[in-house]
Structure 1
């Protein structure tokens, strides 16, 4: 029999899910069932192996969960709002942050880059297949020597040659790239020094993709190093509405909040594991949950979850009403990921020695939290964005 925590989110202490409409809640419950039935049985073995289960792509294709934020691609439904898509990211991360990241790279970064940066012909060309997950997308921005300073330090170049472009350079930490059909590559135009976006097919000559091995976080995501040597791309594959780093920043602003929702999901997953373990594990003749110090850790965890959820609920409302700025998503990403770090550490602590064994699952959440804490802007970079907004003074160097 399925336990109550399988049917509902046991960490939803203030009933935030009630903010969803009936149709939206149906999608969330479908996401919950998909992750429970299709993903959870695979994750421990795949995490240990450090590989992505390719069979999940076909299962996602059949799920009806892909492409929901983009109206007109896939079916006749209206575009999903930010609250639903955020809660979907949360629900996926509640089971596994790696699979949520795979989905976010495809459904968020790659598809949003095409949707926002492409013209109508390009949207009609690429998005239907991506919305069905007939094709998988990746997003190549970060470079081996440049992460937070990529706006000024991008070394990958684009050179106009005849009726096309030639790309040269390197990218690092590119999720999904080992099996992606379309990779959105950002490169600096040598003529006008502006960053432009290009959709590069995964089998394009001159593109070398090498999986990054020996990761200790998000091991199921297949991140890759890309090398581009004389990669030729036709003008028709250059994103026509992405002609500066400002356009890249707009995409990141929209997707950064999704990482905060992922962090909330990781908190919830770790908390639920710790709560269940504390109620079942007997020590000194009674359950761990009956000890004051254990209850203190659980209540602090629930407080972090609840306060973060309230912040993200209001952030989604700002996004859906168009009253949304960079500093809004930056504060959420910085704050929620910091709270996530606390919760996964407390959850692992409740497990004691069992907390470092993969079969108890909490170790996976503990490790995966470190990657989420760092990507889509470090805490320090997001802090400086918010700091500039509230003081009027830039502390960037």
Structure 2
């Protein structure tokens, strides 16, 4: 499949990719357009996840590109960012599944797992044989997870006993394992655990009534005397620093997904404007419509420049928390503006699923908040600017 640059990539950032990377993106885009885009509206409306996408995502390499144990060819962080963009451009919920499976769950193993744990679990996650989830956020602890974590871990011989609750955990209603982050009662430090979801005392309940990312199966998790062996403790996670390292990379990926969501809404609005006739001509010929579209493209182009640079810093090993935080805060804010303009271009038709814009409009609200709210990310950047922490 030959690669064609997106018209929304106005400055041609995809030219930074290798031929092999562009070929892989072309294959992914073709599958998304043929097999996901036509069906996803129904799954969104029913709040169901299309489980049939998991195996093709694995076959396309989407779940394995980042990891030395499984990657099919050498690739860059910019390429992997474009993968996140392509996914969100068609559906942010499918993109979120990948972000949880590949970024948070597998990323936890890559950052904090032992060699033996990596060798055992990363290939299973990359193939889709095992579905993973990431249990950090709690009912009373979201933005203050670093200090406010209430889930506890107590060591008893060669086992750990986990107790607590988690909330908003993506994939958790059908995951095979969940990475649970808990505070060690002995030393007060945050540690990570690979918890098979079949373990007695583990219960996950789907969160109902969402208006955003409806196919994503977020769950409330209750852990009641859940026993896991020492062999399932992430061996290199001895403080919240390991958790933060996982989030640093995935926060940048969410920024890419925000750009993809904006691109999807923008492209749908352009198509609608060309087809919709009012006052005897397509509304694409109206000045106010063109103004909305140009503003949207400007947001996309500015955000794309920021996330590309963040990915280059990641490849160079110089990406810092404030780099990811600024990209996430900026890109999601510009996304929120962009989907609003796209909905406005479509008028009343912008609130129905037929033209896709309504889905992007609603889904943007989740991306705006998860992996750190805009306010929390501005405080991370503000601390870097001033040297003063202003979190409380």
Q: Which TM-score tier does this pair reach, normalised by the shorter chain? A: over 0.9
Question: After the TM superposition, which residues 86-125 of structure 1 pair with which residues of structure 2 at under 5 Å, given as runs?
Answer: 86-125=81-120
Report the Cα distance in structure 1 between the residues aligned to 2:58 and 2:148, rounded to whole angstroms.
37
Superposed CA deviations along residues 128-179 of structure 1, whole A, max 9, x for unmatched, are 1111111111100000111001111111000101211000000000000111
Of residues 293, 297, 301, the one that matches 2:292 is 297
Q: Which residue of 2 aligns with 1:83?
A: 78
Matched, 1:319 2:314: yes
Of residues 376, 379, 383, the one that matches 1:384 is 379
Q: Is the 8 A contact 1:74 1:128 kept in 2?
A: no
Residue 58 of structure 1, CA deviation:
2.4
Question: After the TM superposition, which residues 336-351 of structure 1 pair with which residues of structure 2 at under 5 Å, given as runs?
Answer: 336-351=331-346
Residue 61 of structure 1, CA deviation:
3.0
Structure-2-length-normalised TM-score? 0.98
Q: Which residue of 2 aligns with 1:277?
A: 272
Report the Cα distance in structure 1 between the residues aligned to 2:388 and 2:116, rounded to whole angstroms.
42
Q: Which residue of 1 aligns with 2:148?
A: 153
Residue 214 of structure 1, CA deviation:
0.8
Report the Cα distance in structure 1 between the residues aligned to 2:321 and 2:167, rounded to whole angstroms.
25
Q: Which residue of 2 aligns with 1:233?
A: 228
Q: Is the 8 A contact 1:61 1:134 kept in 2?
A: no
Runs of 4+ residues over 6 Å off in structure 1: none
Q: Which residue of 1 aligns with 2:350?
A: 355
Residue 73 of structure 1, CA deviation:
2.2
Q: Which runs of 5+ in 1 are unaligned?
A: none
Residue 7 of structure 1, CA deviation:
5.1
Q: How many residues align?
A: 391
Matched, 1:211 2:187: no
Superposed CA deviations along residues 337-388 of structure 1, whole A, max 9, x for unmatched, are 0000000000000100011111121000000000000000000000011011
SS at match of 1:267: helix
Of residues 22, 25, 30, the one that matches 1:28 is 25
Residue 62 of structure 1, CA deviation:
2.7
Q: Is the 8 A contact 2:204 2:222 kept in 1?
A: yes
Q: Is the 8 A contact 1:139 1:185 kept in 2?
A: yes
Q: Which residue of 1 aligns with 2:11?
A: 14
SS at match of 1:184: strand
Report the Cα distance in structure 2 between the residues aligned to 1:19 and 1:389, rounded to whole angstroms.
29
Superposed CA deviations along residues 289-334 of structure 1, whole A, max 9, x for unmatched, are 1111111000000000111111111111111111211100000000
SS at match of 1:396: coil
Report the Cα distance in structure 2 between the residues aligned to 1:171 and 1:115, rounded to whole angstroms.
22
Residue 63 of structure 1, CA deviation:
2.5
Q: Which residue of 2 aligns with 1:169?
A: 164
Report the Cα distance in structure 2 between the residues aligned to 1:180 and 1:374, rounded to whole angstroms.
23
Q: Which runs of 5+ in 2 are unaligned?
A: none
Tell me which moved more, 54-63 or 342-351.
Answer: 54-63
Superposed CA deviations along residues 9-65 of structure 1, whole A, max 9, x for unmatched, are 121111111110111111111221121122112210000000101111222233232
